[in-house]
Chains A and B, each alone.
Chain A
Amino acid sequence: MARYGLRLLYGVIVVWGAFTGAFFLLYVVPGDAAGGLTAGADGADVKQLLAEQRELLGLDRPVWVQYWDALTGALRGDFGQSVYQRRPAVEVYFESFPETLKLAFLGLLLAVVLGVTLSVVIELTNWKWARELLISLPPVAVSLPPFLVGLVLLQVFAFQLHWIKAVGDPGFGGLLIASAALAVAGGGSISQLLTANLRGALTSPYVETARNWGLSRFDVLVRHALKNAALPVITSLGTTVGVMVGGTVLTETVFSRLGVGRLVVDAVDGRDMPVVLVAVTISAVIFVVVNLVVDAVHPLLDKRISWDG
């Protein structure tokens, strides 16, 4: 239990570090929200507009005062107002968050289904040429950029078949297709890892034993080998979830969906500090929690691993 507490402490440090790092990174890069607000004002006395906005936003205060305000505010759950939307940054973030969560989790689910199915099919395939063809799929999938996959899917399902709307389809179909765009690369990487592990597992003595019991090839593969081969894959899912939650920006852009990815990219471009800090802090919390959960799941899958080990 003490060990669990220590991990929790590490987690808190990670979150604080992410918050602080994001604050100072955004502070040192050129430009600020006052510049973003006044961008495009034509013919104006821009110098004066800039100074006025800076004062109103409190950007003319010393950096440590701004940091301390941001940090103490964040501890109270108050990240301040989004500069552009002029409402609490937390509200802005949590409006998009469920959309991204749905997208990321359905994407992850599809990726797992896709990856596992492909790996199992590869192992069950006898024809050499078919097998080689299947093995070559995961690396191709991994290297396909999500926006390209998204555009192809849109072309087919929206512009040709009209099954979904091209623009921010609110239904499940739209979500499913957008998730699929996200899942292709994830599924590929899961399959790569799983296929390699399955190879190892299938040559292990315990599998030999299982075969000698007279189990079918499918049973050996799915009931015995897969369970052991899955362990590293589950470990990798910890990072995949984080990457997916944080990296849905391309999919969200292509499918015109509201989401955290787009929100954060826009916020960074516009130097909208409160929104960036909410997003970074919550992403850090997600990373920490998911990794804690993955660690907690390990002993359930493999009795040899324990928290005290």
Chain B
Amino acid sequence: MFSSRPWRRLATAGAALALLATAACSGSGGQSETAANVAKKDRYGGTLNIGLSADPGGVDAAVVNQVWRTVARSLADSLVFYNPETKKVEPWLATSWTVSDDARRYAFELRDDVTFHDGTKLTAKVVKANLESLNRPGIHSSAKTIVQGISRITTPSENKVTVEFAEPNAAFLTSLSRAYVGIVSEKTAELPVEKRQKWLDGSGPFYLEEYTPNQRIVLKKRKDYDWAPKYFEHNGPAYLDQVVYKIIPEDSVRNGAVIGGDELQFIYWVNAKYVAQLEGAGLTISKTLNPATGLELPLNTSSRFLKDVRVRQALQIGVDREQFVKIASGGVDQPATGPLSKDNPHYSDQSRFLEYDAKKAKSLLEQAGWTRTGSDGIRRNADGERLSLRAPRDDAGMQVLQDQWKKLGIELVLDPPLAAEANEALLSGEYDVAYWYASSPDPDVLRANYGTTDGSDRSFVADGDKTGKELDKLLQEQNQTIDKDKRQELVDQASRILVEQAYEVPVSNDVDIWAHSPRLHDITPVGLDQYLINAWLAEK
């Protein structure tokens, strides 16, 4: 009897080979129903294995850009917590704070019971050292932009810290909730950048045990952790003993490892095309709306053809957003209804300027002088120039847009740069249509992207552009306004110009797809970030 077993297994393997194209293996479902009843005290223990597609390049989000939503969030806590449900900033390491009416002065009161992994205590001095360490040469991440305008930091007492800005900065509080301003020990804050990249001592529920580039990152539970944000309703340390991030570059291997054999229990950012397969295998899929922008295309308003607002407006209403999300993401992403996502606390509905109207788009193009159509289906103006635009990205989404705009007689050439050249190419203004990804749950992302006096000027506003000047004024003002309603009004006005005058084309709002084993519970994303404090593993 025993001798026949290897052959059975081989036969199974053979059958699996035949199914390789679909890789539809049967998963083991049915555990999740019973697991929900597991008492909190029985949730402790276990190692969570998470698959990452690439090495994040380091562990400290202050230094590297790719780690803040994952590893860094578990290692360091922030002063404040952004509650994705109420869309409000709540206490974390800071118990309370006051903001001056001119949005220039922030005073925080800190918890007095927080320690870092190296045993040192959280004090006002440590927070000061943290904020100062982010504003020095070599820090090349988003963290730097948060602290750049700080003019003075004072520590009136051991638990009180005051931050002052030269210019008003209404976005500061929300920004502080991000993992890239996670508070680390004073010793870590003072480390040179190259050391900080590989090591950090934070006050998070986990500490760094090992980081082997391109292989794995191992986190261990801190047994004395007891300061999770109220939102989690969690006292004491995390449930998991250990978290191991494994670097697995190949999609199908990552998917396979979470489906069978229990080698992984969680994977991030699953491409929508794999969802059916993973669901079929019994995995739990979570989908979260990105609170910032998603796929937004800044238009180069200084470029040859897009100087003309009518051409830009034609592009705006020439996008069939419903069709776009259906094709590009299998209906997972949401059609954009304004420059900010619906999950942003200052969301502004501009959908009436985003309705698909091919007829109107064509007539706008004709008014702009693009009357003749060549044998290639592309419009030409009186000088015989082809209406051809360049974009720095080539993926399923851009191909859908290429196809939609082609129907209007506009050619979109997809010419993507490599990661290492992308920033420079995008800043040079050589593209007509660009893309940008922003993730902050604050409307100030609009100023960061489209502001000209202070901001990145992604739509290349020309000197004589009066509407552009007005837009910039609104964008700067919203970051100087603390009053919620007044700020909303400014954001609404700016959003309207951005969309109606087509300084940008908001296309869709990203929905992040995460997949995990049915053994793993309570790992749903909180806003954008992954908090592992409540995550626990059921018995095999």
Contact = CB atoms under 8 A, between A and B. Distances in A.
Interface in A74-91: 81, 84-87
Contacts of A46: 423, 426-427, 456
A168 B66 contact: no
B493 interface: no
A131 B426 CA distance: 60
Contact of B422 (A31, A81, A159, A254): A31
Contact of A30 (B25, B257, B425, B439): B425
Interface string B1-31: 0000000011011001100100101000000
Given A39-B422, A41-B140, A166-B257, A31 B249 contact: no
B140 to A, nearest CB: 5
B394 interface: no
B16 A160 contact: yes
Contacts of A37: 140
B263 A166 contact: yes
Contact of A49 (B140, B256, B257): B140
A40 B61 CA distance: 12
A230 interface: no
B20 A161 contact: no
A270 B215 contact: no
Contacts of B282: none
Among A32, A45, A155, A270, the most chain B Cβ lie within 10 Å of the Cβ of A155
A158 B252 CA distance: 13
B445 A43 contact: yes
Contact of B66 (A30, A40, A56, A167): A40
Interface string B396-426: 0000000000000000000001111111111
Nearest to A47: B427
Interface string A37-68: 11111111111011011001000000000000
Contacts of A30: 417-418, 421, 424-425
B448 A44 contact: yes
A155 B420 contact: no
Given A47-B427, A167-B248, A258-B215, A42 B420 contact: no
A29 B424 CA distance: 13
Given A42-B440, A44-B448, A159-B256, A49 B144 contact: yes
B17 A155 contact: yes
B250 A253 contact: yes
Contact of B140 (A32, A53, A147): A53
A218 B426 CA distance: 68
Contacts of B198: 86
Among A39, A167, A255, A269, the most chain B Cβ lie within 10 Å of the Cβ of A167
B137 A41 contact: no
Interface string B430-455: 00000011111000110011000000
B261 interface: yes
Given A84-B57, A160-B13, A167-B257, A256 B422 contact: no
A223 to B, nearest CB: 37
Interface string A155-175: 110111110011110000000
B84 interface: no
Contacts of A85: 57, 213
B419 A270 contact: yes
Nearest to B65: A40
A103 to B, nearest CB: 15
B138 interface: yes
A41 B142 contact: yes
A156 B17 contact: yes
B261 to A, nearest CB: 6
A159 B65 contact: no
Interface size class on chain B is: 35 or more
A253 B249 contact: yes
A36 interface: yes
A183 to B, nearest CB: 19
Interface in A265-295: 266, 269-271
A35 interface: yes
A152 interface: yes
A92 B261 CA distance: 32
Interface size class on chain A is: 35 or more
A233 interface: no
Contacts of B83: none
B197 interface: yes
Interface string B187-201: 000000110011000
A165 B437 CA distance: 36
B140 A38 contact: yes
A230 B9 CA distance: 39
A88 to B, nearest CB: 11
Contact of B20 (A29, A41, A151): A151
A53 B213 CA distance: 22
Among A35, A162, A271, the most chain B Cβ lie within 10 Å of the Cβ of A35
A52 B140 contact: yes
Contacts of B17: 152, 155-156
B456 A166 contact: no
A154 B255 CA distance: 12
B437 A42 contact: yes
Contacts of A168: 215, 246, 248
A269 B213 CA distance: 16
Contacts of A156: 13, 16-17
Contacts of B422: 31, 35, 39
A161 to B, nearest CB: 6
Given A86-B197, A160-B13, A167-B257, A50 B246 contact: no
Contacts of B250: 147, 151, 253-254, 256
A33 interface: yes
Interface in B204-261: 213-215, 246-250, 252-253, 256-257, 259-261
A270 B213 CA distance: 15
Interface in B333-368: none
A44 B261 contact: no
Contacts of B524: none
B141 interface: yes
Interface of A: 29-33, 35-47, 49-50, 52-53, 56, 81, 84-87, 92, 96, 147, 151-152, 154-156, 158-162, 165-168, 253-256, 258, 262-263, 266, 269-271
